[in-house]
Amino acid sequence: MSSPDPIDKAQQRIRLPGVRPPKPLLPNEIERRLTDRQRDLLDELEQLVIGEGVADITMAQLAARVNCSLRTLYGISPSKDELVLTVTDRRLHRIGRAAMESLDPELPPLEALRAYLSAANEAVRSEQGEMVPGLTDVAGGKRLVDSHENYLIAIVQSLLDRAVDEGVIAPVDTAAVAHVLGGLGQEFSRAHISPAIRRSPKQTADDLTEIILRGLEAG
C-alpha cells in the first residue's frame, strides 16, 4: 500500500474538515510519465517565468531560451498560456505542500497559523513576487490564482476556528480575518505597492500577520 499524500496526512492530523487543495493542472501521474528532460525544462521555465516573465515571448522563443525543440514544449502543454499556467500551478502546489508540512499538530493554534502563513508567503518572495500577479493577463490565470488563494484562506479559517474553540482568541468573524490574512502576500506584491513598502512583500506580510495575531490573542 502506498503512503498517504503529505497534504492528506497533514489534513487528517490537524483536522481540517472539508479543506481540499485545488487539483493540479499537471497531475502527478502525468508528470511521472514525462521524460527527465521535460521535468528539467519545467524547472527551467519556472525560473524564466519568475525572473523575467514571458508575456511577450512566443513558444518558439521559449524553446530557444531553454534549448529544446518546439515539439518537446508542446509535449508538455498545447499552448504558451497553458504552459505558463502549468509551471506556475506546479510551483504553487510545491509551496502549498511545504506549508502544510510545516503544520505540527502539537503546536498551539496561533503558532501553527504563524508557521503555515510564513511558509505560504514564500510564494511572494521579492525575487519572485510578480509571478502570480502577472498571471492576470493570461487566460485562466485569475481562476488559477483564486483557486490557490481560496484554499489558503480555507486553511487559515480552519486554524482560526480551532483557536476560537480552544479559547486562544476571542470569538471573531474567522472568515473575514482569514480573507485578510490570506490576501496579505498578494496585496503587498502588487507592482504599484511593492516599491512603496520598506521591506519585501513576504517580510511585510509576515510582519502584519504577527501584528494581527497578537491583536487577536484572548486577554
Asked whether 205 and 124 are in contact (CB, 8 A), the reply is yes
Residue 61: CATH number of its domain: 1.10.357.10
The Cα 49–Cα 130 span in angstroms is 9
Is 133 part of any domain?
Answer: yes
Question: Which of 142, 111, 80 has the alpha carbon at shortest distance from 213?
Answer: 111
Total domains in the fold of the chain: 1
For residue 185, pLDDT over 90 is answered with: no
Question: What's the gap between Cα 195 and its chain centre?
Answer: 22
Is 101 part of any domain?
Answer: yes
Is 48 part of any domain?
Answer: yes
Interacting residues of 115 by C-beta distance below 8 A, sequence separation 6+:
102, 103, 104, 107
User: Percent of the chain at pLDDT above 70?
Assistant: 87
The Cα 218–Cα 199 span in angstroms is 29
Asked whether 91 and 46 are in contact (CB, 8 A), the reply is yes
Would the CA dihedral through 81, 84, 87, 88 be positive or negative? negative
Is 147 part of any domain?
Answer: yes
pLDDT score, position 208: 94
Is 131 part of any domain?
Answer: yes
Q: Using 50, 70 and 90 to split pLDDT, how confident is the model at 193?
A: confident
Is 186 part of any domain?
Answer: yes
Mind listing the pLDDT tens digit for each residue in 26-75? 888 888 888 888 889 999 998 888 777 777 788 999 999 999 999 988 88
How confident is the model over 197-201, as a mean pLDDT? 86
Is 1 part of any domain?
Answer: no
pLDDT score, position 195: 80
Please give the residue range of the domain that contains residue 211: 6-216
For residue 7, pLDDT over 50 is answered with: no
- Orientation of helix 174-188 relative to helix 201-216, angle to 10°: 160
Is 16 part of any domain?
Answer: yes
